[in-house]
Structure 1
Amino acid sequence: MSKHPFRIEICVEGIDGLVAAQTAGADRVELCASLLEGGLTPSLGVVREALRVATIPFHVIIRPRGGDFLYSELEFATMVDDIKALKDLGVAGVVIGCLTPDGKIDEARTKALVEAARPMKVTCHRAFDMTADYREAIEALIRCGVDRVLTSGQRDTALEGIDILKDTAAIAAGRIVIMACGALDADTIGQVRQATGVDEMHFAALHTIKSGMVFRNPHVGMGGTAIEREYEITLTDVDAVRRTIAAARAAA
């Protein structure tokens, strides 16, 4: 039995995603840009607008680029600055993750980010899933004062990671919130909740719609993407969020 109240967090891209998630009954949102890269820090303009329209708490990802979680000194400085700016705005929480080259939690940097963030809540994102020893990583995050960790059990999906998720929750023993993720939907989320006993669950429910653009240049794809991607928009699916939340709560 979890020592923490059960919560469901929806990972969204931008302000429209936040509105869709809260409309569908989410408890909290992780606010990102560029989910195609796993989520990057959104602009301050997006955050300000989110604060204006939000009816539920949201946490902002602090990730200056895609790729690994081994950051340069300049990248790390931008992370600290972003956290301080978000704290000044009154954001509820931030989502971070820094590793050392040998696959451990970078405790010095994590502690510095937690200190910069307080009194905001701090989540460690799936950088945790890239660590060499998840048991050691949990203890490191607890030492750093992190409030929760997002994990798929070091596998692509939560279903594949069920055994490690269950062990992670047992090791945490209420000292840090364990939030499961990884291809969760209405068909899988209940099974994962019952099998692991995690404290919280996190998912994205995305669908793609066609662009409203009438004129289309057939010769250009921005950023090296396929041309058809220029005329697609990815949105949070309100109905899919509702179905998945209902399935998770029914599994209590």
Structure 2
Amino acid sequence: MSKIEIACFNPESAITAFENGADRIELCDGLSEGGTTPDFETVKHLHEKISIPMFVMIRPRGGDFTYTDEEFEQMKSDLIQLKSLNVDGFVFGILNENDEVNVEQNTELVKMAKPYPCTFHRAFDRAKDLEDSLEKVIGCGFKTILTSGQQPSVSEGKENLKKLVELSAGRIEILVGGGLRSTNIEEIREYTKAKYFHSSAITDGGAFASAEEVVALKNT
């Protein structure tokens, strides 16, 4: 059985994921933007109701992953505020103007988040050079990389995902996500040998996680 993280863009999805056996929740806002920082009150309210780990997205806007000084200050401020709620971890990723991992800014946020673990999100899939980016993310102190293998979906990126699992050699968790569903998780798991998987569990093109899909992801 795989470990499953559900990306939740609203409180209803988070409750659905929790009640149907998800191992972890990635909480965000901004579904149409691919995930942004959720509202403080929403996180506070959910944290009181959910007993599985909840990682919170720190991303001030949609679009690219290179931020202005003002946006970076906002990320730091959001992280400190949300850290006060004792959430279980944070999810973010910053690239520089050349689409390389921004070692300085990411390291600063990882240190600010301590003792909570951090996941480098799918900004990784926009970064240049698979191996170099992997080493930089490990060097910044992240515990997990969320990736579709630098391809539009996990099915297209499975060769790179397999390579990342091998190259990481247990130094960092490769969290496989991006077009992952209960219909393809078995094939991707067998091929990549990854152990942790990420999905929104949205099956109807809407905004809410499907209870049936969460169960299917967990049990396939």
> Shorter-chain TM-score: what band?
over 0.9
Per the TM alignment, residue 199 of structure 1 is displaced from its structure 2 partner at its CA by 3.0
Partner of 2:129: 133
Residue 96 (1) aligns with residue 69 (2): no
- Taking every aligned residue pair, what percent have the same amino acid on both sides? 36
CA contact under 8 A between 1:87 and 1:117: conserved in structure 2?
Answer: yes
Partner of 2:213: 240
Q: Which of 23, 27, 34 lines up with 1:27 in the alignment?
A: 23
Query: 1:65-124 CA distances to partner (integer Å, 9 max, x unpaired)?
Result: 000000000000010111111111101000010001111100000000001100111000
Residue 197 (1) aligns with residue 170 (2): no
CA contact under 8 A between 1:98 and 1:109: conserved in structure 2?
Answer: yes
Per the TM alignment, residue 25 of structure 1 is displaced from its structure 2 partner at its CA by 0.6
CA contact under 8 A between 2:203 and 2:213: conserved in structure 1?
Answer: no
Residue 149 (1) aligns with residue 122 (2): no
Partner of 1:183: 179
User: How many angstroms apart in 2 are the aligned matches of 1:137 and 1:6?
Assistant: 26
Partner of 2:107: 111
User: How many angstroms apart in 1 are the aligned matches of 2:121 and 2:19?
Assistant: 24
Partner of 1:174: 170
Larger radius of gyration: 1
Which ranges in structure 1 are unaligned for 5 or more consecutive residues? Answer: 210-232, 248-252
Count of aligned residue pairs for this structure pair: 220
Per the TM alignment, residue 207 of structure 1 is displaced from its structure 2 partner at its CA by 4.8
Q: Which of 45, 60, 63 lines up with 1:64 in the alignment?
A: 60
User: How many angstroms apart in 2 are the aligned matches of 1:167 and 1:152?
Assistant: 12
Partner SS state of residue 111, structure 2: helix
**TM superposition outliers: structure 1 runs of 4+ over 4 Å:** none
Per the TM alignment, residue 30 of structure 1 is displaced from its structure 2 partner at its CA by 0.2
